[in-house]
Structure 1
Amino acid sequence: MKGKGKGQYFLLIFLILISMLATGCGKEKELVKESALTVNTAPAVKCDIAKSMRYSGMVRGHNEVYITPKMPARVTAIHVQPGQRVRAGQLLLSLDSKDLNVAVKQAEAALAGARAAQVANELSLENARKNFERNEELHKAGAISDSQFEAEKLRYESLNSGAVAASVAQAEAALASLQNQMENCNLTSPIDGIVGSINLSLGETASPQMPAAIVTDTGELEIELLVSEAEVSYIKMGSAVDVSIEAASEKPFTGQVKSVSVVPDPVKRSYAVKVSLPNPEGLIKSGMFAEARVDTQSKKDVLAIPVNAVVPKSGRQVVYVLEMKDKENRAREVEVETGIKNENYIEISKGLKPGQEIITRGNTLVSDGTLVRVVAGGSK
């Protein structure tokens, strides 16, 4: 009985071990079961694509004028305020002109004296002319001496020298100069526009080295962009430009390339591109910071996929194509050649065909042959 009992005991132990081994194998088999990776896809499509670059610049009025006084003088009156619309010729600031007023009166008196002397000279000249002609006849007849004739001739020529007329002209020029200085004491707007700033206060002394005011025409604005030599050849006059100005609006504005410089900046070696920007509602102010997106290269009817679908891998560019295999979706690695791209799409010049489903999200986690599951928005 003891031998039989031991046999039963060992048999029981054997059966338990077999059961444990069977259970362990089942668990191992369950652990190695392949799971699908969730991805998004998009088809490769034919479309027009444009490469764009972003440049920053400052918004300026299409016609912006810095008004600088021509002489130092104290500000006696400010007639406008920043933001006020003005017309061409409208008075902006007045400068002290008391001393000039006195000088003008003196110049007017000097001119009046010069003109009176001119009138007296003309009368004397007419009398001298008659005496000269009479004495010339007497001299020919031998009735007067040479010295008497020469003296009369000298008197006539002296009165006819033009010295008095020159004095009048000089007095007129002196008066005109002072009157011009008087006009310079009234700083006016040379254009229709809006007062951008008044840089002086009442009582301050204006300086020819500093603008007293800025007037800008904000009906049409412009932005100057500095473009590299590698991109400037692709920018065409008249092409549309998306302009973002966060200080004015969350939505972008639409501008237009107005001019493209053919000569680079001598220091920065960049080319100036001017973009015109309509401002009918007056939302944009001169001096605001702007970011412009300019199309540089464009192609029509090319094969393109979302730009984030391309994955750099060991110096190559690859994409993962969705492929059905044994009724399962799997990722297949395809090497591609790319062309121009923008923020959304990239050109595929080699490696794909139109309509192929490309993994766009989750593509950095998959490899060639990975089982995938396409979520809503992609192909199934």
Structure 2
Amino acid sequence: MKSIYKNVIIASAIVSVVLVGCNGDKTAKLAELKKKQTALTKQINELEAELASAGVTAEVKTKDVATTEIKTRQFDHYVKTQGLVEAEDNILVSARGMGVITQVFAKEGQVVTKGQVLAQIDNSLIARNVEGMKSQLELATSVFQRQKNLWEQKIGTEIQYLQAKTNKESLEKQLAAAQEQFDQTRIKSPIDGVVDQVNVKVGENISPGMPAVRVINGSKLKVVANVSEAYITQVKKGDQVMISFPDLKKEVPAKVSFTGRNIDPLSRTFALEADLPASTELRPNMTALIKIVYASYPSVIAVPVNTIQDINGEKIVFTAEASGNYTVARKKVVTVEGVFDGLAQVQGLTAGEKNYNGWLPGFKRKVSI
């Protein structure tokens, strides 16, 4: 029994000696590694400081990327809106007199001229009155002429002469009024154009102000739209406009012919108009998409929007520059002056530099300068 106990004590002592020896080796190795780590950290810090002072990235990665040479170009500032085609002369002709429609001369699609009769209201009673007044006026004119001759010869009284003159002038005014009333029974076209709509039929009653015929002059068309009040000081008469018609797959260049000064209190917009060239394809109330160029710069630098990064509140573009055997990314702070159609007009870049086409996977966003 004592022999067994003695053997156990000896074995335990041997294991303890082995463990102490192993721990001593690991401690020495750890100390050696920490010493190397300190040296490497120092070297890394020195290299990072040198790279930072040179303005290049602290970590260089090589990767095949696409770059684009920065060039000056024309850049337009514009606003887009939707509008409608309107005819400059789009008139719904109304009746001026009242009565029964006896004739309709206008037909839809018919070309008419200014003053042409489109429809006739019954004027038989007025016509008889006009004829009766003409006869009375002829008699009054004859009496007046005789009284005038006698008065010039100092025959008769002045009152007879004045009565004849007054009677004649009164009948002239009555006849003119009757003829005007007679003319109001004829519904006439006020413009040259095409009949677009006929709203009356023979036998119908009509009264003053009731719409009868619509006449449109298609040679004078315009686009009418509303633009946000944010552009009230930028959009002005004479600005270039590109008008597209989705249904026709057609674009028409034009110029702003009118800008309203009043802001609509509900939509917060102002009115805009642009004259259109004559066209057989365009129709009133057709939808139009309008691009209004309110500023144009012939030679500025513009880059794709997706190449601009927002880093710590700054707008950054990374340009490609040669550094030894590598091409490295250099950070450039830019000022964005306008964004249109995926391009941004910027200040802070120079023509001839190359910028990366978008942010590329594998490049860190944190770049030291």
TM-score range, shorter chain: 0.5 to 0.7
Q: Distance in 2 between matches of 1:331 and 1:366?
A: 9
TM-score (norm. length: structure 1): 0.66
CA contact (8 A) 1:333 1:368 kept: no
CA contact (8 A) 1:75 1:201 kept: yes
CA contact (8 A) 1:309 1:361 kept: yes
| Residue 158 (1) aligns with residue 159 (2) | yes
Instruction: Indicate how the Cα distance of structure 1 residues 183 and 128 shifts in structure 2: closer, same or farther if over 3 A, else same.
Output: closer
- Mapping for residues 75-94 of structure 1, pairs under 5 Å: 75-91=101-117, 93-94=118-119
Deviation at 1:242, TM superposition (A): 0.6
Structure 2 gap segments, 5+ residues each: 1-60
CA contact (8 A) 1:259 1:275 kept: yes
| Residue 104 (1) aligns with residue 102 (2) | no
Deviation at 1:324, TM superposition (A): 6.6
**Match for 1:231: what amino acid?**
Y
Counterpart of 2:94 in structure 1 is 68
Q: Distance in 1 between matches of 2:98 and 2:124?
A: 16
Counterpart of 1:180 in structure 2 is 180
Deviation at 1:256, TM superposition (A): 1.8
**Cα deviations by residue, 1:90-129 (Å, 9 ceiling, x for unpaired):** 33x31322xx322331342244135325534655776788
Counterpart of 2:209 in structure 1 is 209
Deviation at 1:339, TM superposition (A): 0.7
Deviation at 1:40, TM superposition (A): 5.6
2:292 aligned to which of 291, 294, 297 = 294
Structure 1 gap segments, 5+ residues each: 1-34, 134-154, 371-380
**Cα deviations by residue, 1:298-351 (Å, 9 ceiling, x for unpaired):** 22321111234334456443334456778677766544211123224211112x
CA contact (8 A) 2:242 2:291 kept: yes
CA contact (8 A) 1:330 1:369 kept: no
Counterpart of 1:19 in structure 2 is none
**SS of equivalent to 1:160:** helix
**Cα deviations by residue, 1:46-84 (Å, 9 ceiling, x for unpaired):** 112110101222211233333222133443333333343
Deviation at 1:237, TM superposition (A): 3.8
Deviates more, 1:234-243 or 1:48-57: 234-243
CA contact (8 A) 1:311 1:364 kept: no
Q: Distance in 2 between matches of 1:354 and 1:202?
A: 76
Please report the RMSD computed on the Cα atoms of aligned residues, expressed in angstroms: 3.7
1:95 aligned to which of 120, 142, 153 = 120
Deviation at 1:291, TM superposition (A): 1.7
CA contact (8 A) 2:317 2:334 kept: yes
**Cα deviations by residue, 1:181-213 (Å, 9 ceiling, x for unpaired):** 332232222322233333444444444434333
CA contact (8 A) 1:49 1:341 kept: no
CA contact (8 A) 2:129 2:178 kept: no
- Mapping for residues 107-122 of structure 1, pairs under 5 Å: 107-120=130-143
**SS of equivalent to 2:195:** strand
Q: Distance in 2 between matches of 1:169 and 1:233?
A: 60
Deviation at 1:293, TM superposition (A): 0.4
**Match for 2:124: what amino acid?**
N
Q: Distance in 2 between matches of 1:361 and 1:80?
A: 65
- Mapping for residues 141-290 of structure 1, pairs under 5 Å: 156-161=157-162, 163-228=163-228, 230-247=230-247, 249-261=248-260, 263-265=261-263, 267=265, 270-280=269-279, 282-290=280-288
**SS of equivalent to 1:252:** strand
CA contact (8 A) 1:89 1:189 kept: yes
**Match for 2:283: what amino acid?**
K
Deviation at 1:258, TM superposition (A): 2.3
Asked which structure has the greater RCO (Cα within 8 Å, sep 6+), the reply is 1
CA contact (8 A) 1:319 1:335 kept: yes
1:340 aligned to which of 325, 338, 341 = 338
Q: Distance in 2 between matches of 1:121 and 1:279?
A: 57
**SS of equivalent to 1:214:** strand
Q: Distance in 2 between matches of 1:323 and 1:114?
A: 102
TM-score (norm. length: structure 2): 0.68
Q: Distance in 2 between matches of 1:364 and 1:285?
A: 52
**Alignment identity in percent?**
21
2:78 aligned to which of 47, 52, 55 = 52
**Match for 2:96: what amino acid?**
K
Deviates more, 1:321-330 or 1:44-53: 321-330
CA contact (8 A) 2:111 2:193 kept: yes
CA contact (8 A) 1:49 1:345 kept: no
